[in-house]
């Protein structure tokens, strides 16, 4: 039986992510596990890993459209501090959950001003072309439970959430 990446496999991979200028955006300390075919990771990366086997390395370039979206100026809001939870300790980069017409939405605190804050609904990596350097570390069959939940339950498939 071939053990290449396909729908229903649990894949572990390490990665180094840079932007178009070559600056590091993120890198894995230990392999990241995901359930292939379930949209656990951005589609532009998931599609490119299909068919790889353990030990394979691949460079994958993901456009903003297939990554974290294009940057949308309309998702930047100026909000009075009084509208934020009173107990919130305001720190740039912190996240707020809010409801939008499209369901729950995450806003990042972009800037703190005297009476207002700037909230940004764009993902911090929105608008970036993502350059992944990926190495496949492990591939296994997902457990029935993982398939049912649509996500991974740790290296051995154990339930711990």
Q: Is residue 126 within 8 Å of 110, Cβ to Cβ?
A: no
Cβ at position 156, least distance to Zn ion in Å: 14
Residue 76 or 147: the one with the smaller Cβ distance to Zn ion is 147
- What whole-number distance in Å separates Cα of residue 54 and Cα of residue 26? 22
Q: Which residues of 126-138 are buried (b: 16+ CB within 10 A; e: fewer)?
A: bebbbbbebbbbe
Cβ at position 161, least distance to Zn ion in Å: 6
Cβ at position 38, least distance to Zn ion in Å: 11
Among 122, 149, 158, 160, binds Zn ion (CB under 5 A): 149
58 binds Zn ion (CB under 5 A): no
40 binds Zn ion (CB under 5 A): no
Give, as one character, the DSSP assignment of residue 47: H
The interface region with Zn ion, picked from 90-98, 101-109, 130-138, 147-155 by CB under 5 A, is 147-155
Q: Which pair of tokens denotes residue 120?
A: 């940004």
Q: Is residue 9 within 8 Å of 34, Cβ to Cβ?
A: no
Cβ at position 157, least distance to Zn ion in Å: 10
Query: Where does this chain bind Zn ion (CB under 5 A)?
Result: 149
């Amino acid at each position: 039986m071939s053990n290449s990446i396909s729908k229903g496999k649990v894949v572990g991979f390490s990665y180094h992510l840079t932007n178009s200028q070559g600056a590091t955006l993120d890198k894995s300390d230990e392999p990241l596990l995901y359930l292939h075919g379930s949209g656990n990771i951005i589609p532009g990366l998931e599609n490119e890993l299909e068919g790889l086997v353990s030990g394979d390395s691949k460079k994958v370039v993901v456009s903003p459209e297939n990554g974290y979206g294009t940057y949308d100026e309309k998702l930047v809001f100026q909000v009075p501090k009084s509208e934020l939870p009173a107990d919130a300790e305001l720190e740039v980069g912190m996240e707020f959950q809010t409801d939008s017409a499209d369901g729950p939405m995450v806003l990042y605190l972009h800037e703190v001003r005297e009476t207002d804050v700037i909230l940004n609904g764009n993902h911090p990596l929105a608008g970036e072309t993502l350059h992944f350097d990926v190495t496949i570390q492990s591939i296994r069959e997902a457990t029935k439970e993982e398939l049912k939940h649509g996500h991974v339950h740790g290296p051995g498939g154990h339930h711990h959430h």
